[in-house]
Structure 1
Amino acid sequence: MSDENAAQGETPETEIPETETPEVDPVETLMAENAELKDRVLRTHAEMENLRKRTERDVADTRSYAIAGFARDMLTATDALSRALMVIPEDVRETADGSLKSLIDGIELADREMQRLLAKHGVKPIEAAGQKFDPHKHQAMFEVPNPNVPEGTVVQVVQTGFAIGERVLRPAMVGIAKGGAAAAAEGDDAEGVDKNA
């Protein structure tokens, strides 16, 4: 019979020896699945919690900084009002009467109201005078020789800077001290050092 199978092109069946498969304990299988599913649930929960926190942070940032562009534009208007008040000499302000007095009072009122509204929406001026120069908040315009204050101290504010929350809308344009007390202290410490080398 095997000759007939060979003649017809069929291969004889070979018997595969049966190997004993170890019985898998269904309890262990279920416990492993349970542990894997528990791990997945915990990871998914952690991811969702992180997503919730990130979304809350993004919403808070959007609320805080949404008006940043508008506030930056409004600073131009407040600067114009401040400059208008600065060009009026003090003696003219005191002696003004009639329509000139009304004009000056109107400009002062508009300037105060603009500052109040900016502050209401979180836009605050950056304190610069007397502070240590901070390149993140200040823009140095010039240096002023002043031996009475430490070097790098802001001694003059050319234009007030503003921030909204932690973000700078416009840096303060400042003049900083050069060659002050800090430079003198460094010079005293370095007296024994040969600077010609």
Structure 2
Amino acid sequence: MNDRPENERATDQTDAGGPADINVEASADIAEGQDNQADFEAFMRLAKENEELKDRALRLAAEMENLRRRTQREVADAKSYAVANFARDMLAVSDNMRRALDAIPAEAKASDDAGFKSLIEGVEMTERDMLGALERHGVKRLAPEGERFDPNFHQAMFEIPNPDVPNNTVLQVVQSGYVIGERVLRPAMVGVSKGGPKAGAADAPAEPGPPNPQSEKDA
């Protein structure tokens, strides 16, 4: 018979690697597995947050770049078109100078009056200097004679019957047109051909129509 107390026998089983040791090891494995799962979930959560922050940073950088480009474009436009209204007024002055010069009879221009010739030369020089100053500020003159009619830059005033040139070719410029940058400051008033051969579909000129009002709205 085994007269040893029950607690001593339990102690012997524990010291010998009995069921108590197995339970402790199993509990440790479970706890380690739970810790690993928690660490993995935390890692995945941090990785997701990192991707979201990275994506947000990229979008913010793209927005800042777009804002920078838009600001540069607006500043450039402001510089290019700041003189548009002033240039348009100066063109009216230049037109009056040209009308005055064109109104001088040919015999008067051919006269020997030195004072009158000096006056004509002075007006012509003033006109050239004014147009040159405008050109230095981005205002350029349109010379569409012989070109196809373009309603964005030309305003058709009348038609000229001519069977020898394609329809809607600019044959006469009544008043010069001007652009500033890429905008129309004033369309050229022109006469276009009528009755000539039709151009191909790819080369057909536009039908005469009103000028592009962009310059009036944007300038």
Tell me the residue number matched to 2:173.
157
Matches within 5 A, 1:54-69: 54-69=70-85
SS state of the match for residue 147, structure 1? coil
Residues 1:43 and 2:59 aligned together: yes
Q: Tell me how far 1:134 sits from its aligned partner.
A: 0.5
Q: 1:84 aligns with which of 96, 100, 110?
A: 100
Distance 1:45 1:176 in 2: 52
Q: Structure 1 CA distance, aligned partners of 2:106 and 2:68?
A: 57
> What fraction of aligned residue pairs are identical, expressed as a percent?
56
1:34 aligns with 2:43: no
Q: Which residue identity lines up with residue 90 of structure 1 in the other structure?
A: A
When Rg is computed on C-alpha atoms for both structures, the one with the higher figure is: 2
Q: Which amino acid aligns with 1:84?
A: A
Partner residue of 2:205?
none
- Cα deviation code 1:84-133 (max 9, x no counterpart): 11011233212242321221111111111111111111111112111101
Residue 122 of structure 1 corresponds to which residue in structure 2? Answer: 138
Aligned residue number for residue 128 of structure 2: 112
Structure 2 matches for 1:133-152, cutoff 5 A? 133-152=149-168
Runs of 4+ in 1 over 6 A off after TM superposition: none
- What's the counterpart of residue 110 of structure 2? 94
SS at match of 1:128: coil
Question: C-alpha displacement at 1:65, in angstroms?
Answer: 1.0
SS at match of 1:181: coil
Instruction: Structure 1: state its 5+ residue gaps.
Output: 1-21, 186-197
Matching residue of 1:181: 197
Q: Tell me the distance in 1 between the aligned counterparts of 2:114 and 2:159.
A: 43
Higher helix share: 2
Deviations 1:54-90 (Å, cap 9, x if unpaired)? 1111111111111111111111000001111101123
Partner Cα separation in structure 2 for residue 175 and residue 82 of structure 1: 19
CA RMSD, 1 decimal: 1.9
Residue of structure 1 equivalent to 2:9:
none
Give the AA of the match of 1:35: E
Structure 2 distance, partners of 1:84, 1:114, is 16
SS at match of 1:182: coil
- CA separation in 2, counterparts of 1:135 and 1:96? 45
Which residue identity lines up with residue 145 of structure 2 in the other structure?
A
Unaligned residue ranges in structure 2 (runs of 5+): 1-36, 201-219
